[in-house]
Amino acid sequence: MAITRNTIRTSLFSTIYTYLNTNVSDPKARTKQWIFSSFPDYTAANFIGFPIIVINRNDLDKSYELFDDDYGDITAHIEITVYATKASQVDSLSDSLDVAFNNAVDKTISFKNYNCQSGNVGINKDTRLHYKIHKYDLEMLVWILLKW
């Protein structure tokens, strides 16, 4: 998928979502969606349970708007959070994310920088939810004008 100036946010999210679905295995081998674009309603009857991965919407370096050429490099900041009821599952999935992002995502997106924070929070009286927030900086080659 070509990332263009007009589709930069949706194309980036779609590319990252597809890449993670392909390169990070669900530790419970579920056949339902377990990677989300926002934190799901975990109290809903159809919630598949933890662990899950949430890809938060991206933040872009606005300098791309100044390009005069056909393409240019910009930096995107992506936050991906891993949630699980076991800290060991958070660590295992975090290792899988690191392995996935050590490779180029596709021909136009490559890993540039990384930051992480972790913690836990109680979601009800019986369950403690562990999480790790991964902050990736990705460098993207963006096509400003499509040439035919």
pLDDT greater than 80 at residue 115: no
Of the candidates 132, 133, 134, 121, the residue with the CA atom closest to the CA atom of residue 42: 121
How far apart, in Å, are the Cα atoms of 145 and each of 8, 52, 65, 113? 12, 37, 12, 27
- Mean pLDDT of the 23-30 span: 91
d(CA 33, CA 41): 13
Identify the band that residue 10 occupies on the pLDDT scale cut at 50, 70 and 90. Answer: confident
pTM of the predicted protein model = 0.79
How far apart, in Å, are the Cα atoms of 24 and each of 4, 45, 82? 26, 25, 12
Single-letter code of the amino acid located at 112: K
Residues 6+ apart with CB under 8 A from 42: 50, 123
Whole-number pLDDT of residue 77? 80
- What domains appear along the chain, each with residue ranges and CATH number? 5-143 (3.30.70)
pLDDT greater than 70 at residue 145: no
pLDDT greater than 80 at residue 88: yes
- Of residues 116 and 53, more confidently modeled: 53
Using a pLDDT cut of 70, give the percent of the chain over it: 68
How many CB atoms lie under 10 A from the CB of residue 60? 16
How many CB atoms lie under 10 A from the CB of residue 1? 12
What secondary structure does DSSP assign to 39-105, as a single string?
---TTSTT---S-EEEEPPPEE-GGGGG--SSEEEEEEEEEEEEEESSHHHHHHHHHHHHHHHTS-S
17-21, 77-81, 99-103: the lowest-pLDDT one:
99-103
- Of residues 2 and 133, more confidently modeled: 133
